[in-house]
Amino acid sequence: MDLNAREYNLFNQFNNSAYYTGLIRNAGLPANLALVNARSDTEYFLPELPDLYRLSPTIVPGLIDVKFGSPSALSIDEVKASVTASVSALAAVGGAVPGANADGTIEWAAFNAHVPFELTVNVEAIRKGFYKDLYALQGLRNTWYTGASWHTQDSSMLWEFTEGIVGRILGAM
């Protein structure tokens, strides 16, 4: 994209986090066990990242849904190693399923890295009118924007927002 100085200065203020999701087998955890990483020693009981958000069973027996977060991008190998270490530690203290995860490994049935994820700006930028300036870019240079940074991480609400943008584009023609 050919950004002008105004666009560049706004977009350059964004920071991002990283979000990873996957499906694992051979975890050594009891069936139907769901775990949420809630820390009693942190504000709002949130995990200190990078770390697991949660492990949840799926409808497929033995297949576990993994959610992992980080304040910055990590390599796939780093994320998988961290998840494996956490799952192995949990299995060791929680009475592992016999035969599963005996060698400390888990099988990844699927893995996705959502990086960059959740673009944000600091509080001072918000105070200085960042979002007002960002929304003022709509239609500038005949360019229209949509996406989670412009509205929300909720896909249904984002589609509604996008329909509104398309309506504005068509109205400008």
pLDDT tens-digit readout, 17-43: 999 999 999 888 888 889 999 989 998
Structure confidence by residue, pLDDT tens digits, 142-163: 888 988 888 887 889 989 999 9
User: Is the same domain home to 105 and 134?
Assistant: no
pLDDT for the residue 151:
83
Residue, of 98 and 46, whose pLDDT is higher? 46
Round the average pLDDT of the chain to a whole number and report it: 89
Q: pLDDT-based confidence at 123, cuts 50/70/90?
A: very high
Domain range holding 96? 16-118
Residues near 52 by beta carbon (within 8 Å), at least 6 away in sequence: 35, 37, 66, 67, 68, 82, 83, 86
Task: Show which of 118, 135, 154 is a domain's final residue.
Answer: 118
pLDDT in the model for residue 96? 60
Residues 141 and 103 in one domain: no
Considering the domain architecture, whether residues 106 and 128 belong to the same structural domain is answered as no
Q: How many domains does the chain have?
A: 2
Which segments of 94-173 does DSSP mark as H helices, in order?
A: 123-127, 130-135, 155-172
Q: Rounded to 5 degrees, what angle do the CA atoms 117, 141, 116 make? A: 10
What was the pLDDT predicted at 53? 96
